[in-house]
Amino acid sequence: MFKDWLMGFVTGFATTFKHLFRRPVTEQYPEYQRTLPVRSRARIILTRDPDGEERCVACYLCSAVCPVSCISMQSGQREDGRRYPRWFRINFARCIYCGFCEEACPTLAIQLTPHFETCERDVLNLVAEKENLLVNHGGKNPDYNFYRHAGVTMVGDKGTHVNEIEPVDLKSNLP
């Protein structure tokens, strides 16, 4: 038992002694930036569908699933019946970049990008409004349109949505 303890102690000090005389490796950060993994999570964006409309339908799922409550919004409804967020706010000072909001979003509107440089001197500058978050592309899924896949009739007639079967006339099945 004492021999195992002594071997662990000596091995630990040998590793420390070996690294003590190495030259330090300093990365020049702003000039040299490491390539991030493909699935790295950082800055949150709000994407648009292929028609150029906002994908967010203000369902509040992202704010409900957020463990630190950094997402807040208020919903509204347009004349054609489509829901949208009147205002959408994320407090990046509180955000822990867990990705739960991205997973909970049924419309793929909220997505995390690998852009991680969000340092600010004033904490109030870390609160991002909808205008700062909204981008003019579809993000990771550029061809996805929630209203075409969900079968909502404001984009097309019944039976015209993606993978939707023509509606059945129930009266034709009568004897």
Give the pLDDT confidence score for residue 38 in this predicted structure: 79
Q: Which helix (H) or strand (E) holds 20?
A: helix 2-20
Question: What band does 52 get if pLDDT is binned at 50, 70 and 90?
Answer: confident
Average pLDDT of the residues in 57-65: 94
d(CA 16, CA 21): 9
Q: In the predicted model, what is the mean pLDDT of residues 45-70?
A: 92
Per residue in 114-134, pLDDT tens? Answer: 888 888 899 999 999 999 999
Sorting pLDDT into bands at 50, 70 and 90, what band is 4?
A: confident
Report the range of poorest mean pLDDT among 73-77, 92-96, 113-117, 145-149: 145-149
Question: Helix, strand or coil for residue 94?
Answer: coil
Instruction: Please determine, for residue 160, whether its predicted confidence score (pLDDT) is greater than 90.
Output: no
pLDDT band at 102 (very low <50, low <70, confident <90, very high): very high
**Rounded CA gap, 75 and 86, in Å?**
5
DSSP H/E element including 137: none
Query: Percentage of residues in the chain with pLDDT exceeding 90?
Result: 39
pLDDT at 155 over 60: no
Beta bridge pairs of residue 76: 84
Q: Class for domain 37-157, per CATH? A: alpha beta
- Answer yes or no: is pLDDT of 45 > 90: yes
Cα–Cα dist 63/102, whole Å: 11
Tokens of 4: 């195992």
Q: Would you call 120 exposed, middle or buried from its count of C-beta atoms within 10 A (0-12, 13-18, 19+)? A: exposed
pLDDT at 61 (0 to 100): 95
Query: What was the pLDDT predicted at 175?
Result: 62
Output helix, strand, coil percentages for the chain, rounded to the nearest 5. 25, 15, 60
pLDDT of the residue at 122: 92
Write down the pLDDT at residue 152. 61
